[in-house]
Amino acid sequence: MPGSDEILDRYSEECPLTREEAVTILNTPDDHLRELVRKAGELRRKYKGNKVSVQLLTNVRSGNCSQDCAYCAQSCRSEADIEKYRSIPDEKLYADNRTVNEKHLARHCIGLSGISFTDNEISELADRIREMKKSGTHICCSIGFLTEKQARMLRDAGLDRINHNLNTSRRYYPNICSTHTCEQRIENIRMLRRVGFEICCGGIIGMGETVEDAADMLLDIREISPESVPINFLLPIKGTRLAEQEPPKLTAEYCTKVLCLARLMMPKADIRCAAGREVYFAGREETLFGIVDSIFAAGYLTAGGQGIDDTLRLIASLGYDGKIESTGG
């Protein structure tokens, strides 16, 4: 079996990596990491230039979800100390949307906890999306399982993209969630694609899965061919099941290999370093932005993050451009 150097030498975009090759890349010895980062960097520059897409995330509905996802502070099984609400006030949502435009960020991501929604709830959400689309914002919505009718209601309101993560491999999924399956997620994404949405689909690394599981998840994501691939590195939240189980700790090197593999497998996609960036890549931002072209600013759903201005300054100081000129404002 060839090693990671040999796989990189013969890498071609026309010849997708096999499962074995993907696993080998994730097992790259740490002292060979530089070559891997260089290869991923070539693809990043080829397709993304020096752009970094910065997203702002607003949690429109928080907590009380019926599902038992082991990492999630919003699950009703979690005892995490988070704010819970059914719907964020219009003023806060629209103020965040104005910030996206004023700061020339790439996108406004809105998240709703919960797995299913009534048509009335979707109709109300569609009205809010319609309002925000008046200023030309590119909007992505992270939401549970929609019916096709509901997906069309959001599409008609102008919603551009939907985030639905696979989170882990099909094999490992039952260890993480017992209330729905990975296949249900994949089916939902297929329907969203048919309806015409751009797809954002990624996962979480560090939940106790094997290297093979991480590779399998990325292979499934590659099948979906999403426009955007957010990779989260677990930050266990006190009160969630995973925080009690204390899965093995991640290293910055392994996190780097996962992002490089995502870039090699989906060179044209937005590869986003989502949760965990400020922890696992602290002091390694130059390497990070050489691989990924997308990050969140100012927090994740239930965990804080770096402020927007600090994030934009950091991006500029490394020679990248974090402002999207086409966004309103």
Residues that bind ligand SF4 (CB under 6 A): 65, 67, 69, 72, 74-75, 113, 115, 144
Measured between alpha carbons, how far is 264 from 11 in angstroms, rounded to an integer?
Answer: 8
Measured between alpha carbons, how far is 85 from 100 in angstroms, rounded to an integer?
Answer: 23
Measured between alpha carbons, how far is 163 from 226 in angstroms, rounded to an integer?
Answer: 10
Measured from the CB atom, the residue of 71 and 320 that comes closer to ligand SF4 is 71
Supply the minimum distance, in Å, between the C-beta of residue 178 and ligand SF4.
11
Measured from the CB atom, the residue of 69 and 252 that comes closer to ligand SF4 is 69
Supply the minimum distance, in Å, between the C-beta of residue 191 and ligand SF4.
17
Measured from the CB atom, the residue of 24 and 74 that comes closer to ligand SF4 is 74
Supply the minimum distance, in Å, between the C-beta of residue 167 and ligand SF4.
8
Supply the minimum distance, in Å, between the C-beta of residue 1 and ligand SF4.
36
Measured in degrees and rounded to the nearest 5, phi and psi for residue 173 equal -50, -45
Supply the minimum distance, in Å, between the C-beta of residue 144 and ligand SF4.
6
Supply the minimum distance, in Å, between the C-beta of residue 232 and ligand SF4.
11
Query: Each residue of 66-104: b (16+ CB within 10 Å) or e?
Result: ebbbbbbbbbebbebebeeeeebeeeebeebbebbbebb
Measured from the CB atom, the residue of 74 and 287 that comes closer to ligand SF4 is 74
Measured from the CB atom, the residue of 105 and 140 that comes closer to ligand SF4 is 140
Helices 119-133, 148-156: inter-axial angle, 10-degree rounding: 20
CB 200 within 8 A of CB 161: yes
Measured from the CB atom, the residue of 76 and 282 that comes closer to ligand SF4 is 76
Q: Which two tokens stand for residue 271?
A: 């590869």
DSSP per residue, 167-203: BS-TTTHHHH-SSS-HHHHHHHHHHHHHHT-EEE--E
Measured between alpha carbons, how far is 315 from 133 in angstroms, rounded to an integer?
Answer: 27
Measured from the CB atom, the residue of 115 and 211 that comes closer to ligand SF4 is 115
* Residue 216, SS3 per DSSP: helix
Supply the minimum distance, in Å, between the C-beta of residue 89 and ligand SF4.
20
